[in-house]
Chains A and B, each alone.
Chain A
Amino acid sequence: MARLTIEHVTKSFGAFRALDEVSLEIADGEFMAILGASGCGKTTLLRQIAGFDKVDAGRIMIGDSVVSERGRHVPPERRRIGIVFQSYALWPHMSVAENVAYGLTVAGVKEPERARRVAAALTLVELEGFAERRPALLSGGQRQRVALARCLVTEPSLVLLDEPLANLDVNLRASMEDEFARFHARTGTTMIYVTHDQSEAMALADRIAVMDSGRLRQVASPSQLYREPADDVVAAFIGEGMLLPVDVRSVDEGDGTCDVDLFGRRVKMRCGSQQKPGARMRACVRAHDLTVVAAASPGVDALIDRAIYQGGDFRLEAHPVVAPGLHLHLTVAETSTLRPGQAIRLDVADGWIIPAAGT
């Protein structure tokens, strides 16, 4: 019932194409994060799903009913979905209980049923004693929980969360992340979580859809996204991956690995099953794949540009001797005496051949 289907949705504002042929299928009960930098189109996508805007082309279905397509638009008030807004959007002229009860009143739910469900929703977000307070008197985290209770009290089949943690301080974020995760586990509601923060998305979502310039780049589980990015943009965005030029010499069909040539060194890396050998490809390498080795060992020669202390360890930024335009970064222990200007040799333990590389 609460499956969400987005097919080739396009939306432009004047000459600016905010959404470009976006297609996405979200299963019933799934927790999907939509991740991207600001201006990538993620909020526009959310507004199409909620029905605040009309799509230019394509189709959005909730369950089996079409809610958006050209010439047909179900208004937001009849989509039976819930939203938690970034600004919380609590009505300042109503008490906490009135805020939560609003959707039930609109739906014609009568007392005492209404009061019972409001109390249950407030209990769920642990705000039992706050029913008569005004939103202005609550802390940021409490407001967030009221917004959550208000959105869930009508038992929507689909809940949209628009950067719900962006206005909270760092400590509160972790506990609210917990809250969302427990919530999802308990209710089994389909949730769509829009964020620019990849650690939030990684921690919460079953799957993550990465957006850039109005297009979907990759839709995958958090670990797949990290280990096997589909293209350069995803590789660089997720986990600050380094993109290094490689020539793929041979592909081992059995275990999904291949032998590549990196700065003249032979290295073993992972690749997709469709990968063909070829020159001028790109590999995604993570900071923890790089280690400093003795000058005698095989490896890539590099010069250190900066050493940044980050509490407990150093982040080294360097460039390969043979390719001064590339940037490498890795983490070394606090005891390291490596300083800018020094030459080092790096062992590359792992990497992923970008499937779309070269295109």
Chain B
Amino acid sequence: MPDATDWRERFESYGLLWGLLLVVGILSVAPLARLLAEGIAPQGHFSAGALERVFSSAATWTATRHSLLTALGGTFVALAVGGVIAVMVALTDIRARNAFVFCFVLPMMIAPQVIALAWLQLFGPSSPLLKALGVAQTIGGRNPLYSPQGIILVLGVQYAPLVFLTLRAGLRALPGAMVEAGLASGAGPITVLRTIVLPLMTPPLVAGVALTFVSCLGNFGIPALLGIPANYLVLPTLIYQRMAGLGPGALAEVSVLSMLIGFIAIVGILLQDLMLSRRDFRVSTTSAAARPFELERWRLPVEVALWMWTTLVLVLPLLALALGSLVPAVGVALSAKTATLANYEFVLFGHDAVRRALFNSFSMSATAAIAIVAIAVPLAYFVVWRRTRLLKFVNFAIEVPYALPGVVLAIAAILLFLKPLPVVGVSLYNTVWIILFCYLGRFLVLGLQPVIGGYHQIDRTLEEASQIAGARLARRLVTIIVPLIAPAAAAGALLVFLTAFNELTVSALLWSSGSETLGVVFFSFQQGGDSTYASALGTLTVAVAAGSMLSTLLMADRLPAGVLPWRD
């Protein structure tokens, strides 16, 4: 056989694989390596100066303490709420499950800073709820959410869906026979839950807790809105203030700070690995999923309790946010007479920065979503169907930028792009491109996971059949694999889009005039005391998120199970 075609064969396969690895290397590995280098040798010279300054500063340790306290507190609230609700949804026969799951998961798809503002409105001086109860604050009174307890509460509500989703996935994989064997041995449902189900659920619970802890630790929007006014700083807000105050001059210090927070996150992840490696949790049988426990006379009370919880933590805050957006000015009582749409008019048409931010956020999120799916579809092909040792490392490299707090990647990107790019001489710093770069690196894993899930559900013989028909890799990808993976890829693209659209952590550190994002504009409205504008903008983003989530339910039947987190 002629060697030219052999060569082309190899070129297609290895060329594609190495090209993808190069992209992952640039997006994920390069910035973190650069950050690490900065910590050891700032500006290229080995020096302990920055390290010493940071670690001898009282502010560093106060912020670290605050970070640990709020992250652990938020994780605890999320675990309690998400755990109970996952057991109820996955193991009992409550009705209207899809609607409930949608509402429960919604906060995760809304920007944290918007959720924080919604809660502030709920407890603020013009809160319709508190007014109705007659306990509203007087203007100038202190909002109770400007406190560590407030941060913990809102973090817990925001991330309870994370615990819920990991635990529910585990409960679904639990073979029904294990539960039935327990019942047949004479144990009641509560005993079975305590002695069989929960012990077997240790891996998803621990994984969910670790994920939640890392997310709480890295969250910027909530402590920024609730902590900064009370001068209660956590590490991400401390880094933000240093950068805002000093600009690139503070880089040596904030690099050390971001490595500190990265270190705490990695300790959390390693603790998870350690806990899971010490016992065998493998489930051996493959029988059908557990049949739901019948709650019988308890069903209605449980359903009422679940929906009351939803009303309390979702409907009321969002209602307060929406009502807050109708008030003409902060402090004016809302009535049919005073209600106005002027705030919407202003944020949509009257303000240049908002228009720019809308365009920036929309185009960057869409670009990130499309580019990530374009990378994820061929990459997942190699990860799922051509397993090699190399790809284990790739998986790790993709997960790290997402697992680490967003400020870490943002600082790393600044270090990487502060100087103009070599050879071409163009600088990405202070442009939208540095933000887009971070979106690609940070959210790649969000797009990759549904696509990997999709590959696992495709019968590989479909690809082999086209291979037998004579199609080379490029043609197989285009004619067979892409059409089959399209629904999962669309779900992945949507997850990336929504997350990037709501994002503030990265862009708060990277924005410049002209490259504002929606998150940044929202945050500066709120910081500047224009909470009515912020409420209007927040209400709009909630509507966009809920609308896109609802629209995906139309194609839900064509998606692999578990790709859409908001669907039961």
Contact = CB atoms under 8 A, between A and B. Distances in A.
Interface string A76-111: 111111110111011111000000001100110000
Interface string A143-170: 0000000110010000000000000000
B468 A107 contact: no
A89 B465 contact: yes
A50 B468 contact: yes
B461 A107 contact: no
Interface stretch (B83-91, B119-127, B469-477, B491-499): B469-477
B371 interface: no
Contact of A93 (B9, B464, B472, B483): B483
Contact of B469 (A86, A87, A90, A102): A102
B459 interface: yes
B484 A92 contact: yes
Nearest to B475: A106
B288 interface: no
A81 B459 CA distance: 20
Interface in B435-493: 459, 461-462, 464-472, 475, 479-480, 483-484
A76 B468 contact: yes
A83 B483 contact: no
A89 B459 contact: yes
B5 A103 contact: no
Interface in B58-90: none
A131 interface: no
A65 B2 CA distance: 12
Nearest to B458: A92
B184 interface: no
A102 B464 contact: no
B1 interface: yes
A76 B467 contact: yes
A326 to B, nearest CB: 36
A70 to B, nearest CB: 16
Given A89-B461, A92-B484, A81 B466 contact: no
Contacts of A77: 467-472
Contacts of A102: 466, 469, 471, 479
A75 to B, nearest CB: 6
Contacts of A78: 1, 5, 9, 470
Interface residues of A, number: 28
Nearest to A82: B468
B1 A83 contact: no
Interface string A40-58: 0000000000101000000
A262 interface: no
Interface in A256-293: none
B464 A85 contact: yes
A124 interface: no
Contact of A89 (B1, B464, B475, B479): B464
Contacts of B469: 77, 102-103, 106, 150, 154
A285 B459 CA distance: 44
A79 B466 CA distance: 13
A233 interface: no
A79 B1 CA distance: 10
A108 B74 CA distance: 61
A90 B471 CA distance: 15
A124 B311 CA distance: 64
Given A78-B1, A78-B5, A85-B465, A91 B480 contact: yes
A75 B1 contact: no
Nearest to A104: B469
A74 B470 contact: no
Nearest to B472: A77
Contacts of B467: 52, 75-77
Q: Interface size for chain B: under 10, 10 to 19, 20 to 34, or 35 or more residues? A: 20 to 34
A146 to B, nearest CB: 11
Contacts of A150: 465, 469
Nearest to B468: A83
Contacts of B479: 102
A93 B470 CA distance: 19
A93 B484 contact: yes
B464 A83 contact: yes
Contacts of B475: 106
A76 B9 contact: no
A198 to B, nearest CB: 25
B1 A87 contact: no
Looking at A77, A87, A103, which has the most chain B CB atoms within 10 Å of its CB? A77
A86 B483 CA distance: 22
A74 B10 CA distance: 11
Contact of A87 (B461, B470, B471): B461
Nearest to A160: B468
Nearest to B480: A91
Nearest to B462: A89
Interface in B82-140: none
A91 B5 CA distance: 26
Contacts of B461: 85-87, 89
B459 A87 contact: yes
B450 to A, nearest CB: 19
Contacts of B462: 89, 91
Looking at A50, A106, A151, which has the most chain B CB atoms within 10 Å of its CB? A106
Interface string B319-337: 0000000000000000000
Given A74-B1, A85-B461, A91-B462, A106 B468 contact: no
Looking at B9, B468, B484, which has the most chain A CB atoms within 10 Å of its CB? B468
Given A74-B1, A92-B484, A93-B484, A107 B470 contact: yes
Looking at A50, A93, A151, which has the most chain B CB atoms within 10 Å of its CB? A93
Contacts of B466: 91, 102, 106
Contact of A106 (B1, B5, B464, B470): B470
Nearest to B9: A75
B483 A52 contact: no
Nearest to A99: B465
Nearest to B464: A52
Interface string B348-369: 0000000000000000000000
A76 B464 contact: yes
Contacts of B5: 78
A186 B394 CA distance: 52
A45 to B, nearest CB: 16
Contacts of A74: 1
Nearest to B465: A89
A87 to B, nearest CB: 5
Contacts of A87: 459, 461
Contact of A83 (B465, B470, B472): B465
Nearest to B479: A102
A151 B464 CA distance: 12
A87 B461 CA distance: 8
A150 B465 CA distance: 9
Contacts of B459: 87, 89
A102 B471 CA distance: 9
A87 B463 CA distance: 12
Contacts of B468: 50, 76-77, 79, 81-83, 151
Contacts of B480: 91
Contacts of A86: 461
B396 to A, nearest CB: 23
A178 B484 CA distance: 34
Nearest to B10: A75
Contacts of A89: 459, 461-462, 464-465
26 contacts: A50-B464, A50-B468, A75-B9, A75-B467, A77-B467, A77-B468, A77-B471, A77-B472, A78-B5, A78-B470, A80-B470, A81-B468, A83-B464, A85-B464, A86-B461, A87-B461, A89-B459, A90-B465, A91-B465, A91-B483, A91-B484, A102-B469, A103-B470, A106-B475, A151-B468, A154-B470
Given A89-B464, A91-B483, A106-B475, 17 more contacts: A52-B464, A52-B467, A75-B9, A77-B470, A78-B1, A78-B9, A79-B468, A80-B470, A83-B465, A85-B465, A91-B462, A93-B484, A102-B466, A106-B469, A107-B470, A150-B465, A151-B468
